[in-house]
Structure 1
Amino acid sequence: MIELIRDTILPGDTELGMPPASSVDFELYQIRHGISGPVDKFVELVADVARKKFNKEFEQLDESQRLVAINGCKVVDVRLFSTFITHALRAYYTDRRVLYRLSVGAIPPFPAGNELGVDDWTILEPVYERGPIYRDDGSA
């Protein structure tokens, strides 16, 4: 079921040659990062949300229903949801095949990589001129 969850989040793209998330060795990633407990809890949570929301097992849902079930986990346990999503994305986007398809190296794109355009910081002047918007609690 973990592969189906991951493929719902990161289905891949045949036009771009991007593999689905299930092609990445997530089990090795779990062991390396010691996250098997949270992953197992998230799988149970997804299954529970699917049963409550659709009266079906997660594997029986169509693609849009699976996405709704996964997103429904945010409401139940946002920390567990965030932990799983973060690790699923990290495992996928650090895989050599994915990096190769993206034509990027294994190093972060910033600060040495992509150049950022010059920002117009004057748009923040009204916020600065407004002054603080908090109340002084008198502890200073």
Structure 2
Amino acid sequence: VSNDAPPGCENWFVMINAPGDYGQDWPSLKAKARKTILKKLSATLNREIEPLILTEHILDPVGIQDNTSSYRGALYGAASNSRFAAFLRHPNFTGQVQNLYFCGGSVHPGGGIPLCLLSAKIVSDLVPDINSNQ
């Protein structure tokens, strides 16, 4: 989109995985991650990147929690670092509250736009089944 950056410039989006907020020193961690990312990009592109940055916005788990009410700022719910994590995601429904369904990155099947959309499809398929039984 032409309005995303000034004329002759580009808009870059860089996302790295981060743990949920458990009181870490985010200013220090963000500075370290920024330095590492800029070093890697500069080496890969064979050009110093930092002087080319006109504006930037860095969002950490504290900011994510503030903006979205996501628990501890986790975009995708509980950590998914084990080989079984995908099988342990919260289901798209609960047996505790009738007609309550869940979709999004923190429930089955997982995070990322395609899986979030699939999660919504799963829920949309579940809802008519309940309505037809009443």
Same fold, judged at TM 0.5 (above): no
The structure showing larger relative contact order (alpha-carbon pairs under 8 Å, at least 6 residues apart) is 1
**Max radius of gyration: which structure?**
1
Using structure 1 for the length normalisation, give the TM-score: 0.27
Using structure 2 for the length normalisation, give the TM-score: 0.28
